[in-house]
Amino acid sequence: EDEQIVAEIMRRRFFPAVITHKAWEGFHFAGHEIRITEATDCYGAVVWPSALVLCYFLETNSKQYNLVDKNVIEIGAGTGLVSIVASLLGARVTATDLPELLGNLQHNVLQNTKLKCKHQPCAKELSWGIDLEKNFPRSSCHFDYIMAADVVYHHPFLDELLLTFDHLCKNDTVILWAMKFRLDKENQFVGRFQALFDLEVIFNFPSLNITLYKAMRKNRMKV
């Protein structure tokens, strides 16, 4: 079953028939052809398999996880593929990443969503752990979903990443997080994450070494 689903996910990706001066990859999600401009000199400017897993989940579980009119923020959005798919599925999306990635992110989001979405998504700078209350004040920012694909890897900002999850998450916020398991240091992040959030495995793909999690804040008020 794992290999069958993975094969279906990977079939959603296509490449240009003719090489052009600007590198791009194509994807089929949410009934649209999505073209993503990439850069090979930066981790955040390429599409990683975890993003494809999350996009496939959003599309194939759109009834259970109905995004129409929901407020969604993607952290570490990179090329913007997850944000684009969420927008095409009807969400109000804020795609975030580092300032040096914002230009390419804005380009991809605009190119693939203009006049196609109920709500036009926006791209916004977010450096994990920095100026969170200033840029995303708790009193006025409420997100129904936080989405993240491959934000945990060999980088020195895992503490800041956890702080960012914590700041953006309200009691009723759902986190959808796709993670590729690589090294023990990064894998230990899951244990630290579970100190703050209830974690549930939604999908597991051993052939890709990727797990898709659903998470919500611990000790949240029951309604």
Q: List the domains of the chain with CATH numbers.
A: 1-217 (3.40.50.150)
pLDDT higher than threshold 50 for residue 223: no
Q: How large a percentage of the chain has pLDDT more than 90?
A: 79
How would residue 222 be classed by pLDDT, with cut points 50, 70 and 90? Answer: low
pLDDT higher than threshold 50 for residue 2: yes
CB-based contacts of 9-15 (< 8 A; 24+ apart in sequence): 9/49, 9/52, 9/53, 9/56, 10/52, 12/52, 12/55, 12/56, 13/47, 13/52
Asked if residue 145 lies in contact with residue 194, where contact means CB atoms within 8 angstroms, the answer is no
Phi, psi of 164 (to 5 degrees): -70, -45
pLDDT tens per residue across span 35-54: 999 765 555 567 889 999 99
Mean pLDDT lowest for which of 21-25, 135-139, 201-205, 207-211? Answer: 21-25
pLDDT tens per residue across span 104-124: 999 999 999 999 999 999 999
Task: Report the DSSP pairing between strands 210-217 and 174-180.
Answer: antiparallel
pLDDT at 43: 55
pTM of the prediction? 0.93
- CA distances, 2 to each of 6, 28, 50, 123 (Å): 6, 20, 14, 33
Asked if residue 157 lies in contact with residue 197, where contact means CB atoms within 8 angstroms, the answer is no
